[in-house]
Amino acid sequence: MKKSTLAMLCLLMIIISTVFCLAGCKSRTDEMVDLETYTTKQMTKTKKQVIECINEQDKEGLKKLFSKDAQKRIEDLDGKLDQLIGAFNGNKIESAKGRSPAFEGSAQTQPLHIYGDYDLKLSNGEEYILFINICDIDDNHQENKGLFQLSLLTFSDEEIPEGFRRNTTVDDYGIFVYTLEEAQNQ
């Protein structure tokens, strides 16, 4: 009797352990799907705000999207915002198509950085490429939340010269505008 009770107890512990393990794996998968959905939603929101500010030529609105830390770190922020908005020559962004955003970090291992790149179609028919980098979650450093980098290529994917490299990393603070002429002379 003791042996059968002991065997039943061992079997019950194995079943309970298996259930907890499977539930743990499922929740991690669910967490990753949720994080991907979350980052897509946040980048879509930020992209819309950036495009609206560019189309409205709203330098102050665009400036407010940058984190407080980035506003302090970016040298001549106002001049760079003027350069970015000026690169559109008054043309409006009609569409912005991009890949799913990438992210680095998680809600548990902060900061959560989200990166997006978009092919822009302008009202004059030209195509540009816009890279948006944001810090979305950083509970210990709220001043880091917001945009920290915008990079604009004033040419399309098809026009990128062979060997062209942006001279920034994804974690650099700043606003960077690249023209085709500059890219060809690298």
- DSSP class per residue in 47-62: HHHHHHHHHHT-HHHH
What is the structure's pLDDT at 182?
85
Better pLDDT: 1 or 134? 134
Question: What mean pLDDT is predicted for residues 56-83?
Answer: 97
What is the structure's pLDDT at 184?
87
Confirm if 112 and 79 have CB atoms less than 8 A apart. no
Question: What mean pLDDT is predicted for residues 171-177?
Answer: 92
CATH code of domain 29-184? 3.10.450.50
Confirm if 87 and 155 have CB atoms less than 8 A apart. no
CA dihedral 76, 156, 65, 138 (to 10 degrees): -100
For the record, the structure tokens of 150 come out as 């915008």
Backbone torsion region of residue 163, taken as left when φ is above 0, otherwise alpha when ψ lies between -120 and 50, otherwise beta: left
* Res. 12: pLDDT tops 90: no
With pLDDT > 70 as the criterion, what percentage of the chain qualifies? 81
| Residue 10: band (very low, low, confident or very high) from pLDDT cuts 50, 70, 90 | low
Cα 145 from Cα 160, distance rounded (Å): 31
* Average pLDDT for the chain: 86
For the record, the structure tokens of 124 come out as 């004059």
| Residue 26: band (very low, low, confident or very high) from pLDDT cuts 50, 70, 90 | very low
Q: Give the CA distances from residue 62 to residues 52, 68, 82, in Å, rounded to whole numbers and listed in that order.
A: 9, 13, 10
What is the structure's pLDDT at 93?
98
* Res. 34: pLDDT tops 50: yes
